[in-house]
Structure 1
Amino acid sequence: MSTAAPTLPAVSPTADGALRLADWGLIRAEGADAATFLHSQLTQDVKSLQPGQARLAGYCSAKGRLLASFVVWCESAETLWLACSADLLAPTLKRLNMFVLRAKCKLSDASAERVLWGTAGASAAGLLGQAGVWTSVSSPEGTLVRLPDGAGLPRALWCRAADAAAPALPALDAGSWAWLEVHSGVARVVAATVEQFVPQMVNLELVGGVNFQKGCYPGQEVVARSQYRGTLKRRAVLFDSAAALNVGQEIFHDADPGQPAGLVALAAPRPDGGSSALVEVKLAALDSGTLHAGAADGPVLARGALPYALPQEAA
């Protein structure tokens, strides 16, 4: 499946260094029931998470729509950390706390005590050593969580004390970090996309964010039904454009200008100009014609390559 739009020139990524991630926030979960409680709320198996391990997870409404997405890692049997978009931290924390009830679990905003840095390229490789994806590595300087690579470059979240000095690494440009995040193929839910997607619509299960063997959680029946009944009709696809693209922007097909064919889930500036974006889109819209940002006569989108195959294309 492909659109008729030409691809933009390939970019050779050179990003390296570390960046304070102002658009990420951090939740601490503590207590004897912390893992069990989170297991009951998220799309991921949290009960089996051990120190040194991290996982991707979604938090859904009862209708199976993503309210937030997390990078979760285990510090100890009674302490877990959840990194999410900063603009969703307060409402997500409030909603989760509504369901704690008698569970021995305390959830709190830890953003004032710990800060998240993003590190990529040779700097990340040097810090991570042989650590694999979704491994957490702790040291006196903080905890590193290896994320999926972006455009072939290693990436990691680095959770450090808020009063610690900045890492002695090159400064990483925010646009470069965001572009690598887009090219990792892992969509992060932000305020502009809350309740827009069932997990599979942004490929969450393809990047390890959904466990279909675990017990119930909010929206679980909808997520399971989307997986096992019929063919999924919408997926996240990587696109480039010579124009700026924005999260939450609607995408239109030239043959059906009256209704949107998709939504930008994550976007970033290309190093050579223009934008790259993860776009949730109707798969039928990829068969022919062209996709455009904002309107059917808006900037054309050129399809790029995800770091993994979509199921329909792998068959």
Structure 2
Amino acid sequence: MINAWKSFIQSQGAILEDERVQHFGNPAIERRAAAQGNVLVDLSELSLIRARGADTQNFLNGQFSNDLRSLDATHNQLSSWCSPKGRMLVIFRLFRRGDDTLLQLPAALLETTLKRLKMFVMRAKVTLDPVNDELVGFGISGPDAEKLLHDATGFAPGSVDGCETRDEITIARLPGPHPRFEIIAATDVATKLWNSLKAKATPVGPSAWAWLDIMAGIPSVHPETSDVFVPQMANLEIVGGVNFKKGCYPGQEIVARMQYLGKLKQRMYRAHVENDALPRPGDAIFAPDFPGQSAGTVVAAQPAPDNGFDLLAVIQISSAEAGKLHHGSENGPRLSLQNLPYPVAPATRAE
């Protein structure tokens, strides 16, 4: 985290632990605010890699699951980077900012991802560098978020997955239960914008943003789940993170075979659980039709606004349809499946 931004965010009431924002003094109130009202969220738990150079588009297009040729200054894009076995190592959200392509990922995966990705550059004219010391990100979500951004900056993307940059401010629109936007800017610009928005939006901790991702059915990959899921298992193709016509990338044959020829046995579902402790990425889900073994894996989980925990989990379709699911053990807390904002069905042949 940039020192100037750290000092500023602390002055706004942020409580930090190990250089990470935890909350702004009252996590329970913040969770309810994220569900019902307008909120501001520090996004320092996410990191940015800047890719630049004449070969950037071709290089990234040869590595990621989505078509980088469709990424421009007016759109943001999800994409995954897979192992040769077709398992996702990381999920990125991609932005164009001037001549640069920005790759956003969990901060916990930055070092290993950047080191591995650089190994494939070879003679390509592209540079990859972290920009956490240059740019900061924060989010705004809520019923009035679009109007508040318009009033403060004069613009806001009108459609989900839209993106626009003006006056060194990049604003991307993300899916969510309310209009939701991410802002990327230099520290001084971000500070002024935060100050102009905070009168009508409640500052909340990063778990609220992660909860909004869960409500939107947006998958994430964490150190515990890196190289675990094929993209379709986490519904990545449903939320626009896979292009089946773009050509080769690591793991492409397996991903394509699953789409065209295979029978997908697992899908990502949203669920709620009343538990004593927060479920963690990689935790096992159990069901009676898979005795003695895991029937699913937690993707992400966050405290729910009222009680318990909301989560995303990749689960055997047969187990999900049976409905008897437990977290952590065969006799663990019972999961209650919740609706996603899109239909979940076995992968079928792409049109």
TM-score (norm 2): 0.81
Distance 1:313 1:85 in 2: 27
Where does residue 162 of structure 1 map in the other structure?
187
Where does residue 5 of structure 1 map in the other structure?
none
Q: Match of 2:328, as an amino acid?
A: G
Query: Which secondary structure does the structure 2 equivalent of 1:47 belong to?
Result: helix
5 Å matches for 1:52-71? 52-71=74-93
Where does residue 245 of structure 2 map in the other structure?
213
Where does residue 230 of structure 2 map in the other structure?
198
Higher RCO, Cα 8 Å, sep 6+: 1
Where does residue 102 of structure 1 map in the other structure?
123
Q: Is the 8 A contact 2:170 2:183 kept in 1?
A: yes
5 Å matches for 1:40-51? 40-51=62-73
Is 1:132 matched up with 2:159? yes
Where does residue 117 of structure 1 map in the other structure?
138
Percent of residue pairs bearing the same amino acid type: 39
Gap regions ≥5 residues in structure 2 = 1-31, 150-154
Correspondence for 1:292 among 314, 326, 333: 326
Distance 1:313 1:75 in 2: 34
Correspondence for 1:16 among 19, 23, 38: 38
Distance 2:291 2:274 in 1: 21
Q: How far apart are 1:192 and its partner, in Å?
A: 1.4
Can you list the C-alpha shifts for 1:204-235, whole angstroms capped at 9, x where unaligned?
00000000010100000010011111321100
Gap regions ≥5 residues in structure 1 = 1-10
Distance 1:147 1:197 in 2: 23
Where does residue 8 of structure 1 map in the other structure?
none
Distance 1:247 1:281 in 2: 13
Q: Is the 8 A contact 2:157 2:164 kept in 1?
A: no
Distance 1:265 1:18 in 2: 24
Where does residue 29 of structure 2 map in the other structure?
none
Q: Is the 8 A contact 1:245 1:276 kept in 2?
A: no
Can you list the C-alpha shifts for 1:134-165, whole angstroms capped at 9, x where unaligned?
1112133621111112xx21222211213441
Q: How far apart are 1:255 and its partner, in Å?
A: 4.5
Question: CA RMSD, aligned part only?
Answer: 1.9
Can you list the C-alpha shifts for 1:82-140, whole angstroms capped at 9, x where unaligned?
11111111111111110111111000011111112122113532226452111112133
Structure in which a larger fraction of residues adopt helix? 2
Distance 2:136 2:227 in 1: 27
Distance 2:68 2:326 in 1: 39
Q: Match of 2:82, as an amino acid?
A: C
Q: Report the count of equivalent residues.
A: 301
After TM superposition, the runs of 4+ consecutive aligned structure 1 residues lying more than 4 A away are: none
Is 1:90 matched up with 2:122? no
5 Å matches for 1:124-273? 124-126=145-147, 127=149, 129=156, 131-140=158-167, 142-149=169-176, 152-164=177-189, 165=191, 167-168=194-195, 169=198, 170=201, 171-243=203-275, 244-273=278-307
Q: Match of 1:283, as an amino acid?
A: I
